[in-house]
Amino acid sequence: MTQQNSGLPTSKSQSAQVLVVGSINMDMVAHAPRLPAPGETLVGEAFVMAPGGKGANQAVAAARLGAKVAFVSRVGTRQHGEALLQALQDEGVDSSAVARDAQALPGIAVIMVASEGGENSIVYVPGSNAQLSPADVQAAAAKFQAATVTVAQLEVPVPAIQRAFELTRAAGGRTVLNAAPALAVTPALLALSDCLILNETEAFQLAGLPSLPEDAAQAQLLAQVAEAAHALRQRGAGQVLVTLGAAGVLMCGAEGPQHLPAQAVKAVDTVGAGDTFVGGFATGLAEGLAPVEAARLGMAAAAIAVSRSGVQSAMPKRAELGAGFAPKR
Ligand code: ADP
């Protein structure tokens, strides 16, 4: 790993270490030709039950791309909880710091996917994810010493994330907040976020700006997204990365906005695109890549993931990205 330009302390281990603090769920995915209208019943084409949750998805995305990943979470072991932990272990993710709760149910996500176009709708029931506490995070303090990058999302309580980011900063690591789903973020958490990743809907909502109509010109969209990113930087976030689906990513750091167009692929299932991007970005950052190169790694991984069906099952291994994205030794 090249540490010279990363600004990270040299006391960290030389391998890319990513710590994910977040949710883990069982995803129940129904595929239908299109999404149903309110009150409508559609006959589906397929049903799959698979491990998910933004935290677990991002942990798996990073592990597939070659990062050494540890997971901090709270898992209810009733119903699907043990299966969820086993699935993480099968991916090589260290789950030794996960708090287990024999009384609680794990999170569940009910997902509908339209086979034409790959759009999706989701109902998420948090279960034990809502119980992750600052004390649970504190109990995993040793994991923060080893981590180069800590990643969190908003499917677990903000006080737990805040403690995680404080521990990360104290240990000399970098913090990545994926502000998804679209929920309020405290000023203190934004100020602790070296990188803030969110999609355009989440960015407009968090920045308090109106969304644009679907048919808005790309130049108009990019200008409005840049304004949102700038506003979020003003509120304390470091680098802001707004994901734009097939239109790629708009990054905004001290040097101003930069648009990175996505690879053109045929989208089959876009569920988990953002999670794959975040896992790839965190991996790149932990390897010492500059943020723009880390974002390119995340985009390359996400482009492959959307071209296949499934969430974790669609996430690529590093070698699938091609020689241009091989880890720098
Ligand atoms: P989310 O799933 O959080 O809404 P996006 O839909 O913005 O996130 O997707 C995240 C990233 O995945 C995008 O920035 C892009 O790099 C990639 N991506 C998503 N959809 C496509 C697509 N249709 N073609 C190519 N890349 C895509």
Q: What are 277-315's pLDDT values in tens digits?
A: 999 999 999 999 999 999 999 999 999 999 998 899 999
Q: 226 near 208, Cβ under 8 Å? A: no
Model-level pTM?
A: 0.91
When pLDDT is averaged across residues 318-324 and rounded to a whole number, the result is: 95
- In the chain, the N- to C-terminal Cα span, in Å, equals 5
- For the chain, the residue count is 329
Cβ-count burial 85-119 (b if 16+ within 10 Å, e if not): bebbeebebbbebbbebeebbbbbbebbbbbeebe
Residue 90: the pLDDT is: 97
pLDDT level of residue 3 (50, 70, 90 thresholds): very low
CA 131-168-23 angle, 5° bins: 30
Is 275 assigned a catalytic role?
Answer: yes
pLDDT in tens, 146-166: 999 999 999 999 999 999 999
Residues touching ligand 1 (Cβ under 6 Å) are 180, 199, 243-246, 248-249, 262-263, 265, 267, 270, 273-274, 277, 299, 302-303, 306
pLDDT, mean over the chain: 93
Q: 16 near 66, Cβ under 8 Å? A: yes
Nearest-CA residue for ligand 1 atom 2 is 274
DSSP SS3 for 112: strand
Residue 1: the pLDDT is: 34
Largest CA distance in the chain: 58
pLDDT in tens, 70-103: 999 999 998 889 999 999 999 999 999 999 999 9
For residue 10, pLDDT over 90 is answered with: no
Residue with tokens 């291994």: 317
User: Which domains occur in the chain, in start order?
Assistant: 17-35+45-315 (3.40.1190.20)
Nearest-CA residue for ligand 1 atom 5 is 245
